[in-house]
């Protein structure tokens, strides 16, 4: 049976916080992209949000055991989709120097966003099935690295380094929470980071971008232009901002103002207060999610606990990295701000992931007679 009623309602505070961030993101998308030509981005984003909310509604009615049972199929399907981006007439072709999308008519679908969730769902089941090997031998670490590499190689071929890092670190974090020893984790992490370092080193463009950020004077003639403009916008915003829609950096100075750099637009137009609102909202969602994971573990439902932990780790890293690059703390890379940045795949799978968190919380609160069927 696909649908199952828990007899519980979603956590009101958590649900409201998520919906408020989604609406806030829609407003900021309108402000950051109103000057762009073509179909208004806010209309497209509204459609993506609608699709995400519909999917999230059905997720709330679906037991986590369903995701556990079909996580392997979802993982394999996602690997196939990651491959299809390279196929002519199926993939959307090379956009911005990268092969990352499949044209599905309404929008360009990005399989790497789906892989972030698929990896969490599949890895949670793998860690339970291979619990002894994962905690007692290098064999489990090796199998984990093969799983991570299967997606990592494809996302690297797409030149999607950001997704590769998020997916890999999320998987390793889940391995740690499952009880793997620090020594083995450090060995695995060192191997993966070494591979990423070689990938950057042998790509002249990426190496130059990385070195220019750390070695050049940010405000000198060789400084990173996009980082400079983001900080100028945030500086203009001061505490209260220039006013919604009154920012100027988005017009000619700050590319991708409605996607990767939307946090800088928030800083310019809504000031420090607006940035703190976003920061504290995400902090509440992520902290609540980790507590839900802990509660599921108390009930002996390891799969649900690992899934909640993985999703919260993914959101923590992606949110933290996006904000850090907007503040000029790290080099700029393709990291969207979940629930806020413009983008169909990112929005839909972010909402689905958070709906899974809400469903786990509902199962945590379900009567004991129902909990015996939950995982």
Q: pLDDT tens digits, residue range 72-101?
A: 999 999 999 999 988 888 877 767 667 788
Contact 352, 55 (CB under 8 A): yes
Tell me which of 204 and 320 has the higher pLDDT. Answer: 320
Distance CA 357, CA 59 (A): 10
The alpha carbons of the chain give a radius of gyration, in whole angstroms, of: 21
pLDDT tens digits, 189-235: 777 777 777 766 666 666 666 666 666 656 666 567 788 888 999 99
Residue 4 sits at φ, ψ, to 5 deg, of -150, 125
Judged against a pLDDT cut of 60, whether residue 369 lies above it is answered with yes
Token readout for 257 is 């103002």
Q: Which residues of 197-221 are buried (b: 16+ CB within 10 A; e: fewer)?
A: eebeeeeeebeeebeebeeeeeeee
Judged against a pLDDT cut of 60, whether residue 373 lies above it is answered with yes
- Per-residue confidence band for 21, with pLDDT thresholds at 50, 70 and 90: very high
Judged against a pLDDT cut of 90, whether residue 132 lies above it is answered with no
**pLDDT recorded at residue 221:** 62
- Per-residue confidence band for 62, with pLDDT thresholds at 50, 70 and 90: very high
267, containing H or E segment: helix 262-298
Q: Which residues of 44-75 are buried (b: 16+ CB within 10 A; e: fewer)?
A: bbeebbebbbeebeebbebbbbbbbeebeebb
Average pLDDT over residues 244-273: 90
**Alpha carbon 282 to chain centroid distance?**
12
Torsion of CA 290, 294, 297, 301, to 10 degrees: -40
Contact 108, 158 (CB under 8 A): no
Q: Which residues of 246-270 are buried (b: 16+ CB within 10 A; e: fewer)?
A: ebebbeebbebbbbbbbbbbbbbbb
Distance CA 158, CA 271 (A): 36
CB atoms within 10 A of CB 2: 8
What does DSSP assign to residue 108?
E
pLDDT tens digits, 153-193: 888 888 788 888 899 889 988 988 887 767 667 777 777 77
What does DSSP assign to residue 130?
T
């Amino acid at each position: 049976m696909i649908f199952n009623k828990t007899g519980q309602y979603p956590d009101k505070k958590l649900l409201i916080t998520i919906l408020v961030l989604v609406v806030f993101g829609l407003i900021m998308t309108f402000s950051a992209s109103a000057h762009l030509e073509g179909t208004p981005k806010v209309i497209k984003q509204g459609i993506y949000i609608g699709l995400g909310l519909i999917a999230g509604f059905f997720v709330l009615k679906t037991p986590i055991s369903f995701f556990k049972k079909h996580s392997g199929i979802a993982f394999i399907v996602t690997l196939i989709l990651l491959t299809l981006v390279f196929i002519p007439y199926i993939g959307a072709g090379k956009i911005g120097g990268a092969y990352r999308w499949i044209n599905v008519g309404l929008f360009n679908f990005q399989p790497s966003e789906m892989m972030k969730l698929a990896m969490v769902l599949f890895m949670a089941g793998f860690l339970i099935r291979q619990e002894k090997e994962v905690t007692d031998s290098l064999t489990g670490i090796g199998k984990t690295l093969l799983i991570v590499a299967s997606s990592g190689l494809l996302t690297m071929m797409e030149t999607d380094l950001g997704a590769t890092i998020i997916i890999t670190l999320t998987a390793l974090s889940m391995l740690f929470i499952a009880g793997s020893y620090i020594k083995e984790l450090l060995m695995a992490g060192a191997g993966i980071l070494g591979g990423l370092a070689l990938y950057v080193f042998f790509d002249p463009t990426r190496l130059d971008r990385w070195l220019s950020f750390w070695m050049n004077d940010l405000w000198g003639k060789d400084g990173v232009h996009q980082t400079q403009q983001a900080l100028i916008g945030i500086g203009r915003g001061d505490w209260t901002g220039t006013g919604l829609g009154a920012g100027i950096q988005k017009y000619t100075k700050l590319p991708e103002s409605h996607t990767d750099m939307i946090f800088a637009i928030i800083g310019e137009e809504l000031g420090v207060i607006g940035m703190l609102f976003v920061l504290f909202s995400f902090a509440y969602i992520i902290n609540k999610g980790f507590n839900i994971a802990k509660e599921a573990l108390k009930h002996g439902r390891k799969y649900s606990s690992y899934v909640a932990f993985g999703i919260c780790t993914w959101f923590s890293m992606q949110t933290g990295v996006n904000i850090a690059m907007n503040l000029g703390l790290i080099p700029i890379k393709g990291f969207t701000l979940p629930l806020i940045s413009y983008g169909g795949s990112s929005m839909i799978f972010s909402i689905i992931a958070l709906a899974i968190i809400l469903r786990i919380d509902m199962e945590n609160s379900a009567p004991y007679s129902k909990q015996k069927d939950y995982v």
